[in-house]
Amino acid sequence: MFKGAIFDLDGVIVNTVPIHFKAWRKLFTKYGEKFTFQDYKTKVDGIPGLNGARAILAPFRGPVRVPRNKLPEKEVVKAANKKRKYFLEFLKKEKIPVFKSTVKLIKELRRKKIKIAAISSSKVAKHILKKTKLFNLFDTVVTGDEITKGKPDPQIFLLAAKRLKLKPKDCVVFEDALLGVEAAKKAKMFCLGIDHYNDPLRLKKAILIVKDLKEINYNKLKQLYNR
């Protein structure tokens, strides 16, 4: 029986994806880079800000590491800090939509004595949870400033399991990002994908893919986990 549930923040608990995209696009436009939502989904979604900046602005790109005339690392770090500044500016101005179906599932799992964690590569995750009055729903919250390796490395999920005092195999993960699903699988955790973009193949490594967590409840999770 699973004993813990780990929820990614952006795109699973709250819909901050449009705000993140706007902040990234503002940043990359200033550097003369075209940045589409497809770029967001495949290159920066769900990873720490510095890695996101590297994905577009770093001197090397691709598996063969072809050199490009791009920014040195110290400038990439500055760019990542600018993105965080833009994100916080947008965050102050805009309401943060909450996925009500996710909150309903979390409350049901808590009633069943399942331990709950929230994870995010963002360093402002706790601020977002407090602003949306959701912080107290979680037994632990792991944020981007507590890890040294971003997704698809499993570090953030393994740290969440450790904080919950559970083995990785006893945890169920809820993710909406490609790199997040890959990280959960590397952590040897049972992973469900939430497909907000009508592109289920993007999350094909997940055990099950749903459009919304209203399709899931405690009993269905138990059945899936015990297959």
Tens digit of each residue's pLDDT (9 = 90 or more) over 205-227: 999 999 999 999 999 999 999 98
pLDDT at residue 224 in the model? 93
- CB 191 within 8 Å of CB 185: yes
pLDDT at residue 59 in the model? 59
pLDDT at residue 65 in the model? 43
Question: For the chain, which residues score pLDDT lower than 50?
Answer: 61-67
Task: Write down the pTM of the prediction.
Answer: 0.83
Q: Domain coordinates of the chain in residue numbers?
A: 4-15+96-225, 17-93
The answer to whether the Cα torsion of 38, 100, 184, 141 is positive or negative is positive
pLDDT at residue 46 in the model? 79
Q: Which homologous superfamily does the CATH classification assign to the domain defined by 4-15+96-225? A: HAD superfamily/HAD-like (3.40.50.1000)
